[in-house]
Amino acid sequence: MTRALVALGSNLGAREAHLQAALAGLRALPGTRLLAVSRTHATAPVGCPPGSGPFLNAAALLDTRLGPHALLAALQALEAAAGRERPRPNAPRTLDLDLLLHGDAVLDEPGLQLPHPRLHLRAFVLEPAAEVAPALVHPRLGRTLLELRDALRAAGDAGAACAR
């Protein structure tokens, strides 16, 4: 089993229902166990198109037998099931699931970068991630999620950017 960390977000439609459906979908993934879920964080959109609503964000910690590509495909299928559309970059979304970490994997491929390249730069990701896995170490930076969250807090970042 590999420990994986997933960010959940929604700023369109029944946001809480979209997050709950995503968690049910994560629980149902083959060879996967949902270990922990953060509380839901409400965040204001930053740099989003006009009319974008506020985000609800959370994080989920998993143990999975799925490899990173298979897990990413499963996350994208859950997004599609929630009605996720991609009409333009940074468009509001019913559901956004980002694979943040997959064990200590370091990948830089088209369509999949691990760890997520902006994980350490976004409070809306680090706040819930540090709740569920404070001691998890970022494979590139060698710092725990709690350390990264505290550094970002000290820098004063708080918003949820649309460019996910």
Spell out the domains of the chain, with CATH numbers in brackets: 2-161 (3.30.70.560)
Active-site residue, from 27, 39, 98, 108: 98
Residue 10, SS3 per DSSP: strand
- Residue 146, pLDDT > 70, answer yes
Query: Side-chain half-sphere of 98: how many Cα atoms within 13 Å?
Result: 24
- What's the alpha-carbon Rg for the chain, to the nearest Å? 15
Residues pairing with 45 in the sheet: 160
Mean pLDDT over 35-53 rounds to 86
CA dihedral 71, 73, 79, 80 (to 10 degrees): -150
pLDDT band at 8 (very low <50, low <70, confident <90, very high): very high
Task: In whole angstroms, give the CA distance from residue 109 to residue 52.
Answer: 30
Q: What is the pLDDT of residue 11?
A: 92
Active-site residue, from 84, 122, 149, 164: 84
Mean pLDDT over 6-23 rounds to 95
φ/ψ bin of 111: left (φ > 0), alpha (ψ from -120 to 50), beta (otherwise): left
pLDDT in tens, 76-106: 999 999 988 776 666 678 899 999 999 999 9
Can you give the pTM of this predicted structure? 0.93
Catalytic residue flag (residue 93) = yes
Percentage, residues of the chain above pLDDT 90: 77
Catalytic residue flag (residue 3) = no
- CB neighbours of 80 closer than 8 A, spacing ≥ 6? none
pLDDT band at 26 (very low <50, low <70, confident <90, very high): very high
**Pairing assessment for the beta strands 45-46 and 160-161 based on DSSP bridges:** parallel
pLDDT band at 142 (very low <50, low <70, confident <90, very high): very high
Active-site residue, from 96, 122, 149, 164: 96
Active-site residue, from 3, 33, 88, 93: 93
